[in-house]
Structure 1
Amino acid sequence: MSTIRLTLLALVACVPLLAQAAPHQLTTAWPVNVGPLNPHLYTPNQMFAQSMVYEPLVKYQADGSVQPWLATRWRHAADGKTWWFTLRDDVTFSNGEPFNAQAAAANFQAVLANRQRHAWLELANQITDVRALSATELQITLKSAYAPLLQELALPRPFRFIAPSQFIDGGTARGIKAPIGTGPWRLASSQLNQRDVLVRNERYWGRKPALQQITIKVIPDATSRAVAFETGEIDMLYGDEGLLPLDTFERFRHHPGYV
């Protein structure tokens, strides 16, 4: 990886020290809308926003380890082909529906019903059966022992969970009704080519975000995003690829008013 790219990744969030954002609100920009936010599909769904709305059974931590998240613990058979996950019992989707093993199994089945779309991920090929044993016990059966199972469950997609009431035709391959997840944020509104607004999920089971609202303005042009940042139209720049012209990035990097 180049030094320039490493530096860019390290400084992807430039925030003006004197930003006049409304209390508990933040405005940023992205080249496109976040999309319908189907947790089980890819483009045009933007992965960073999917990760704000939806959650996994297990989650990567900053040190690279995989830790419990919607699942509190797990175990597997001696042959490694059957895994059992114990789920949290205090989680609801942002619309109030309970998250339980039945909802989790339905999501796995929706992903596997569209297995060819996820053939790049070996876990999608390995799973032969997923079922709820109780409200909090989920069983996953594999063709054979698969060592990276936890790591692949922790990826941002496709093994995350939407309220089953939002399935279309019993699944998600043809779309979803609305992006209802268990995560700390929910999509409140979306205007094509204009903006998306995410608000704090007040039903969130974990630590709630300090912010109440994040507005993501759609600004396709990198130079225009830089101007919006300098003029205070947006409070933060986030991302890497094509975010800023390199000369503008260098100027921002050395500006004492930005962090």
Structure 2
Amino acid sequence: MHRHRKVSLWFVLTMIFALLLAACAPAATPSGGEATTGESSEVAAEPAEKGGDLVIAFPASSEPASLDGHIDPYQPTWLFNSFVSDPLVVLSPDGEFLPSLATEWESNPEGTVWTFKLRDDVMFQDGTPFNAEAVKYNLERIKAPETASVQMAADLGPVESIDVVDEFTVQINYSEPWVTLLDAARRIPLWSPTAAAEYSVTEFDKHLVGTGPFLLDEWIANDRIIFTKWEDYGGWNPIQNHDGAAYLDSVTILFIGEAAVLGSVVSTGDADIARELPPTYREDYQNSDEYQFLTGFQAGTGLQQVFNVRNAPLNILELRQALLYAIDQEGLNDLLYDGAYLEQKGPLNVKHPCYTSDVETMYPYDTAKAMEMLEAIGYRDEDGDGIREAYGVEGVEDGTPLTIRWTTLHHVEIGEAMQAQWRLIGVDLQVEQVAGPIQIDMVNNRDFDLIYERQRSPDPMILDMIWNSRWDEPGGWAWTGFADEELDGLVAQLRTVGDFEQRCDIAAQAQVKIMENALMAPTLSQPVFYALAGNVRDFQLASEGNYFYLHNT
């Protein structure tokens, strides 16, 4: 058995098949107030008072449809769940797995059997004991059809059975190797079986009960979520550097619909922290001695839009390629974000450890080439209105304008700027903003042209989730309708190959293959800007900049 004080994410992914790890580290003592994933600007440190009511402003688009992370597939839900529920393992700010509710874990050499030993001194907020039966209940709830889990069930993988070895040991058995369980385990909220059984699946998200430092007090839809301190919290998360309950008395999440309000909410004193600060307000806080400013980045797909290639004309490869030649990312970035975002040339962003630069020169901005390709397909502007019509295009009635729908949850401004860029080549881009549940309905009905699909993870397995046609089903994440044996075979290996360098090589081949087929429109990758009032202390960004910890704040 290999024993480690703490386990690197990259080490785990590299050595997973030889994994037999037990973590027994003392609680980490992260530095307060510094961005672990980007730049930081801080006011001079002063003695901080413990306690207080922290108010954090989020854009309204971050409000989840459900607060139950077993159900809701979006990142803000998992963040809010982390206030209420500690996970089995934690990914520390420096990217290392640490024990939380699990004290040790091991895998057989094949990666098909995982065993977790649990803490024996934990209880849920309603007094229900935390033990192996509770873990089993949660994992089976995620996999149950009535839960209708999308993301979490996919992350948990092909579980064959779950065994309670003893009161504080649980074993998870897989039908095939599953090398990324720890990455899933850090995000899976563990709920009180007593509380979850008391409510229906759709009602429980208003009554969450976990083992974390805060109690869910109230959720007022389209307004706020209020969490209050759990006085009996035992400090079971290794991020926490002190014993007992959290310092804060309460945490209120405000959902702000107007960018101008979100940009000024800290300076007006209406919030202590603004997350996803609009880029135009960055200098107001970054260059001020009164505030703190943090920048976080997250590995993943970036703000990509995926094509639906099932129907004409987007089933025509040359048309999709022409559209990619007409994207000026540098122009988008300068126009919309003063160059603060990151350009993205493929299905993984530049912050991802498996990103390949091989995609960077595949589609240089070239409107002349784009128009030439559209002409060759049969799209011409015969009526002089600036929009091309189809003439002899297979599957499209002659005279039909080249109109494409761009569907997104947020960042509408990117679509609007793209309208202007694609109009230069004679394409009518129609931008529509929808809520998360509507997006999922559209995807399940395959009713879209070009739709926002974003995954955030440093694990290359997200390529399998999005691009393996095996997952082209309701509830799955393979939305494009593209099926290719070579690509499917490549990305499927990311679920079974343990060596991280080999996984990145596979991921690089897959990225090139995806871009050769022009299956997605890369735009930009978003940093996360945080503005903090000067009196906020020990607010900690996670290794992924969209997450943060409040255990020591």
TM-score normalised by L of structure 1: 0.80
Change (3 A) 1:103 1:29: same
1:75 matched to which residue of 2? 106
Whole-Å Cα distance in 1 between the matches of residues 225 and 285 of structure 2? Answer: 26
Are the counterparts in 2 of residues 15 and 236 from structure 1 also a CA contact under 8 Å?
A: no
Contact 1:54 1:182 in 2 (8 A): yes
The answer for the alignment partner of 2:256 in structure 1 is 219
The equivalent position to 1:145 in structure 2, one of 166, 177, 183, is 177
Unaligned runs of 5+ residues in structure 1 are 1-6
Query: Which among 270, 276, 282 is matched to residue 249 of structure 1?
Result: 282
Give CA deviations for 1:39-97 in whole Å, capped at 9, x if unaligned.
Answer: 30225763321121122211111221212111101223344322221110111111221
Q: Structure 2: any 5+ residue segments left out of the alignment?
A: 1-34, 236-242, 293-553
Which of 215, 234, 241 is equivalent to 1:186? 215
Q: C-alpha offsets along residues 11-66 of structure 1, whole Å, 9 cap, x if unaligned?
A: 69988999xx9952212212345665213022576332112112221111122121
CA distance in 1, matches of 2:72, 2:43: 29
Q: Which residue of 1 aligns with 2:68?
A: 38
2:159 aligned residue: 127
| Structure 1 equivalent of residue 54 of structure 2 | 26
Give the letter aligned to residue 79 of structure 2. Answer: F
Give the letter aligned to residue 133 of structure 2. Answer: Q
CA–CA distance in 1 between the matches of 2:52 and 2:99? Answer: 29
Q: Indicate the SS of the match to 1:216.
A: strand
Alpha-carbon distance in 2 for matches of 1:119, 1:26: 30
TM-score w.r.t. length of structure 2: 0.40
Rounded to whole Å, the distance in 2 between the matches of 1:13 and 1:198 is 28
In the other structure, the counterpart of 2:138 is 107
- Partners of 2:43 and 2:224 in 1: how far apart? 20
Q: RCO higher in 1 or 2 (8 Å CA, sep ≥ 6)?
A: 1
Give aligned pairs, total: 242
CA spacing shift, 1:12–1:179, aligned 2, 3 Å: farther
**Residues 120 and 106 of structure 1, relative CA distance in 2, 3 Å threshold:** closer
Q: For residues 121 and 197 of structure 2, what CA distance do their matches in structure 1 show?
A: 26
Tell me which residue corresponds to 1:232.
269
2:79 & 2:268 partners in 1: Cα distance?
A: 25
Whether the aligned pair in 2 keeps the contact of 1:34 and 1:49 (CA below 8 Å) is: no
Which amino acid is the alignment partner of residue 174 of structure 2? L
Q: Which residue of 2 aligns with 1:196?
A: 225
Measure how far apart 1:166 and its partner are: 2.5
Q: Secondary structure at the match of 1:133?
A: strand
Q: 1:122 to 1:36 in 2, by over 3 A?
A: closer
Check conservation: 2:113, 2:172, Cα contact below 8 A: yes
SS in 2 for 1:237: strand
CA distance in 1, matches of 2:68, 2:271: 26
Please tell me whether Structure 1 or Structure 2 has the larger radius of gyration of its CA atoms.
Answer: 2
* Residues 68 and 185 of structure 1: CA distance in aligned 2, closer, same or farther (over 3 Å): same
Provide the C-alpha distance between the structure 2 equivalents of 1:79 and 1:111, rounded to a whole number of angstroms.
24
Higher helix share: 2
In the alignment, is the contact (CA less than 8 A) between 1:129 and 1:140 conserved in 2? yes
Identity over aligned residues, as a percent? Answer: 26
Partner of residue 86, structure 2 = 55
For the residues of structure 2 that align with 1:120 and 1:86, how far apart are their CA atoms?
A: 22
